[in-house]
Amino acid sequence: MTMRPSDLDRVKALPLFQGTSAETFRDVTAGAFLQRFPAGTTLLLEGDTVDFLYVLLDGIVELQGSWKEKDTTLTVLRPVSTFILAAVVLDADSLMSARTLERSEILMLSGQALRRTMRQDADFGFAVARELSGCYRGLVRAVKNHKLRGGTERLANYLITQRVRQGLKETITLPHEKRILASLLGMTPENLSRAFASLSAQGVVVHGPEVTLTRPEALERLARPTPLIDNHMPPQSRVLGKGEVESWSEATGYA
């Protein structure tokens, strides 16, 4: 599908492409194409050869991992974001599967063109390194979150994140079904239900996908958010390197 000028403008706004010359942007997007996928479409599987960098322009994409009979949600991406960048840079097989959770528009950029442009344009190569560095720091946040906190604390911080993202409302809407939320938080659906029940003492009231936070201060006392783990902290308290850009995705903060 031919890309509209508005689509190109959205891609240019990505940190990966900000500051690139018109020539570099033209080289990277040479041979790119835009596709629309219905919900539930598998975009790639673990172990697949990665020929394209994916840019999510509209919709929601879930990245998954599996082992034996188990599978888990690694992260959920929203526009505008890239994914599978590390595999593209390394010209390696994908470590994750990807599928759409709703109707999505995805721009597919040639991996070969991206690698070639990285070699030719040092500024663009640095932009790719910065993007990957932000994703790596997000991954470190996720590992710390899972290793240092119990399930109830992870859920509490997730709810605080959603409250911030949804305008500090008292009642927030869970963006995913609870099966996906449990997987994101490294919990079983049963453990998630118990965690929600235990948070009632902190004023958390659940009605289906609607969650009312009647005592957000009590929830924060339990969650104890820190800028060294959480990306819902105010920007002035975030721990970022000079010029650093960190990707955001559901629950983990990495893309």
Nearest CA-CA partner of 81 in 63, 95, 93: 63
Q: Mean pLDDT lowest for which of 46-50, 192-196, 239-243?
A: 239-243
Number of other residues whose CB lies within 10 A of the CB of residue 8: 16
Nearest CA-CA partner of 186 in 101, 76, 74, 46: 74
Q: How confident is the model at residue 84 (pLDDT cuts 50, 70, 90)?
A: very high
Q: How confident is the model at residue 237 (pLDDT cuts 50, 70, 90)?
A: very low
* The two three-digit tokens of residue 130, written as one number: 């910065």
Q: Which fold has domain 5-120?
A: Jelly Rolls (2.60.120)
Domain boundaries along the sequence of the chain: 5-120, 149-237
Residues 178 and 202: their CA atoms lie apart, in Å, by 20
Q: Residue 232 has what pLDDT? A: 67
pLDDT tops 90 at residue 13: no
Contact 246, 231 (CB under 8 A): yes
**7-93-15-36 Cα dihedral, nearest 10 degrees:** 20
The DSSP string of 118-152 is HHH-HHHHHHHHHHHHHHHHHHHHHHHHHHHS-HH
Q: Residue 249 has what pLDDT? A: 54
Nearest CA-CA partner of 179 in 169, 168, 188: 188
Q: Residue 255 has what pLDDT? A: 35
The predicted-structure confidence for 108-153, as pLDDT tens digits, reads as follows 999 999 999 999 999 999 999 999 999 899 999 999 999 999 999 9
The predicted-structure confidence for 207-218, as pLDDT tens digits, reads as follows 999 999 999 999
* pLDDT more than 70, % of the chain: 89
Q: Which fold has domain 149-237?
A: Arc Repressor Mutant, subunit A (1.10.10)
